[in-house]
Amino acid sequence: MAAKDIYHNTVKTALKKDGWKITHDPLRLKIGERSLYVDLGAEKLLTAEKQDRKIAVEVESFVSVSPVSDLEEAVGQYIVYEDILEYSEPDRIIYLAISEEVYLDIFSEPIGQILLNKKRLKLIVFNSKKETIVRWID
């Protein structure tokens, strides 16, 4: 199991403040003989629909020297988890959690905009100081 991201607890707190119940920390995905671990699993009751909404959240800090390398690694990890979840838990949707600073940096540039315009990623953008979610991007 990989080490927790520096923003792991921040995102966990932000989700709780937003009404989510943390159900897995981490969320284990088993495929064949292999296990992978998404940072968090969470559920929220949608009262109008009387059903739970389930998400998986992969937290990424983007703290290396190269934001592009961080993006490549995050997108690759996201795709692997998304494909496995589609097979093992099709009712659970994966999100990549990133700080507001990362969103305003790499995701405001053409490289990030292309990914968002192509609907390649679902994002949770959080404020790391206030420990709140500032934006959901589906």
Q: Which two tokens stand for residue 14?
A: 């932000």
Q: Which two tokens stand for residue 138?
A: 């589906």
The predicted model gives 89-95 an average pLDDT of 96
The predicted model gives 77-91 an average pLDDT of 96
Angle at 17 between CA 16 and CA 21, to 5 degrees: 20
Sign of CA dihedral 32, 38, 43, 48: negative
* pLDDT > 90 fraction of the chain, expressed in percent and rounded: 90
Q: Which two tokens stand for residue 78?
A: 């996201």
**pLDDT score of 47 more than 80:** no
What's the predicted TM-score (pTM) here? Answer: 0.93
- Map out the domains of the chain with their CATH numbers: 8-137 (3.40.1350.10)
Q: What does the pLDDT look like over 114-123, one tens digit per residue? A: 999 999 899 9
Compute CA 66 distance to the chain's CA centroid, rounded to the nearest angstrom: 20
Residue 134 to residue 127: CA distance in whole angstroms: 6
Q: What is the mean pLDDT of the chain?
A: 93
Look at residue 10 in the predicted model and tell me its pLDDT: 98
